[in-house]
């Protein structure tokens, strides 16, 4: 029963408002059953209760609101016009409740709603798109929101629950992050086909000492690997360009203006089009370049996000041999 309890102090002064709050879901349901089955006795039989229970509830509703809800027609009691209006009100309320319950169920299983993914450049075209195709078939009404950024930015998005999942180059340890880490596509130097080193295919880093170099900001995972190589080689290099878009670095390199550094996946379109040549870096740090799928420790993902996480990890396992994760499973 829908009831409204109050003290004398918070009792509405307006009697009309007070009466509105006395509408009982049970009484309205009894009216609905009377209309549905054609009388009080038939309604009582359908509900397996005594007819006097229905009669008392209807009579109380009539007294509370000063209206007549039932009238005699021969041996039958039928609903008056206002009685029918209350029945329609009850049915509309039931429809709204059913719609809301269905909506709650949709959001509980996330058949509708939003799913946020933080993703680094180079992952969408070559990995995430294939996973999203399967995801969209399973959850066609989910709005997938992709937010790009450097590795540190994507980790922050996941840690702060700005996104549900992240996909980026391997980053440092963060106790709030659960990561699955995998060997990534080859980390290499990228040059124009017209570049003097384009025919080498494999180079030592010292061969780039006198080249015009294109760096990313330090927050990018690719730049962190590059900086580690430079430190290991004990070099002091000053870039000619520094940009925060892989696409910009690729365009500069393709124009023959410098040497860019990233994975072959990140540069796949330029490589496939023959606008760039990938030069393998002969250095152990370059061979350790990794990618990772991340989520926040302790966060319970929705069924849709869990589905995407599982298939994303499976896709990464198929593409690259798994490497031990610093954060663990």
- In DSSP terms, 70 is beta-bridged to 79
In this prediction, residue 21 carries a pLDDT of 52
Note whether residue 9 is domain-resident: no
Choose the final residue of a domain: 107, 138, 153.
107
pTM: 0.61
Residue 233 has pLDDT above 50, yes or no: yes
* Domain that residue 215 falls in: 187-287
CA distance 273 to 169: 24
Residue 58 has pLDDT above 70, yes or no: yes
CATH assignment of the domain containing 91: 1.10.10.10
Indicate the pLDDT class of residue 324, thresholds 50, 70 and 90: very low
3-state secondary structure of 214: strand
Q: What contacts 278, CB < 8 A, 6 or more positions away? A: 186, 188, 189, 190, 264, 267, 271
Are 291 and 170 within 8 A, CB to CB? yes
Residue 327 has pLDDT above 50, yes or no: no
Choose the final residue of a domain: 74, 90, 107.
107
User: Does residue 123 or residue 180 have the better pLDDT?
Assistant: 180
Residue burial 101-125, b: 16+ Cβ < 10 Å; e: rest: eeeeeeeeebbebebbbbbbbbbee
Structural domain count, the chain: 3
Note whether residue 326 is domain-resident: no
pLDDT, tens digit, 9 for 90 and up, residues 159-168? 999 999 999 8
Note whether residue 68 is domain-resident: yes
pLDDT, tens digit, 9 for 90 and up, residues 260-315? 999 888 888 899 999 999 999 999 988 888 888 999 998 888 888 999 999 989 88
301 shares a domain with 283: no
197 shares a domain with 48: no
123 shares a domain with 264: no
* Average pLDDT rounded to a whole number, residues 156-181: 88
In this prediction, residue 127 carries a pLDDT of 66
Residue 44 has pLDDT above 80, yes or no: yes
304 shares a domain with 246: no
Note whether residue 167 is domain-resident: yes
201 shares a domain with 180: no
3-state secondary structure of 182: strand
Q: What is the mean pLDDT of the chain?
A: 84
Note whether residue 78 is domain-resident: yes
- In DSSP terms, 183 is beta-bridged to 290
Q: How far is CA 71 from CA 58, 59, 67, in A?
A: 12, 12, 11
198 shares a domain with 159: no
Phi, psi of 231 (to 5 degrees): -65, -40
Q: Which of 106-115, 202-211, 278-287 has the lowest mean pLDDT?
A: 106-115
Note whether residue 151 is domain-resident: yes
Are 169 and 289 within 8 A, CB to CB? yes
273 shares a domain with 192: yes
280 shares a domain with 302: no
Note whether residue 298 is domain-resident: yes
CA distance 134 to 270: 26
CA distance 317 to 328: 15
Cβ neighbours, 10 Å, residue 250? 23
Indicate the pLDDT class of residue 320, thresholds 50, 70 and 90: low
Tokens describing residue 144: 């997938």
Note whether residue 10 is domain-resident: no
147 shares a domain with 194: no
CA distance 261 to 253: 10
């Amino acid at each position: 029963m829908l009831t409204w309890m109050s003290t004398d102090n918070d009792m509405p002064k307006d009697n009309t408002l007070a009466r509105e709050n006395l509408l009982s879901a049970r009484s309205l349901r009894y009216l609905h059953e009377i209309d549905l089955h054609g009388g009080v006795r038939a309604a009582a039989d359908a509900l397996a209760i005594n007819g006097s229970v229905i009669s008392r509830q209807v009579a109380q509703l009539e007294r509370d609101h000063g209206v007549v809800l039932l009238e005699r027609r021969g041996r039958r009691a039928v609903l008056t016009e206002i009685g029918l209006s209350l029945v329609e009100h009850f049915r509309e309320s039931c429809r709204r409740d059913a719609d809301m319950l269905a909506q709650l169920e949709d959001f509980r299983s996330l058949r509708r709603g939003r799913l946020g993914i933080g993703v680094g450049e180079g992952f969408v075209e070559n990995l995430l798109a294939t996973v999203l195709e399967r995801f969209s078939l399973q959850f066609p009404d989910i709005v997938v929101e992709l937010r790009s950024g450097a590795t540190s930015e994507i980790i922050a998005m996941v840690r702060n629950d700005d996104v549900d999942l992240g996909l980026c180059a391997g980053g440092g340890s963060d106790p709030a992050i659960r990561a699955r880490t995998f060997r990534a596509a080859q980390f290499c130097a990228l040059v124009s086909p017209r570049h003097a080193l384009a025919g080498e295919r494999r180079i030592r880093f010292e061969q780039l000492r006198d080249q015009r170099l294109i760096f990313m900001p330090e927050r990018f995972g690719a730049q962190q690997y590059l900086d580690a190589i430079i430190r290991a080689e004990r070099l002091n290099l000053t870039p000619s360009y520094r940009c925060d878009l892989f696409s910009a670095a690729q365009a500069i390199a393709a124009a023959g203006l410098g040497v860019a550094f990233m994975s072959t996946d990140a540069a796949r379109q330029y490589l496939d089009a023959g606008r760039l040549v990938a030069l393998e870096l002969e250095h152990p740090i370059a061979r350790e370049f990794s990618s990772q799928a991340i989520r926040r420790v302790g966060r319970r993902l929705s069924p849709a996000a869990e589905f995407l996480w599982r298939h994303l990890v499976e896709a990464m396992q198929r593409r690259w041999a798994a490497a031990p994760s610093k954060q663990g499973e």
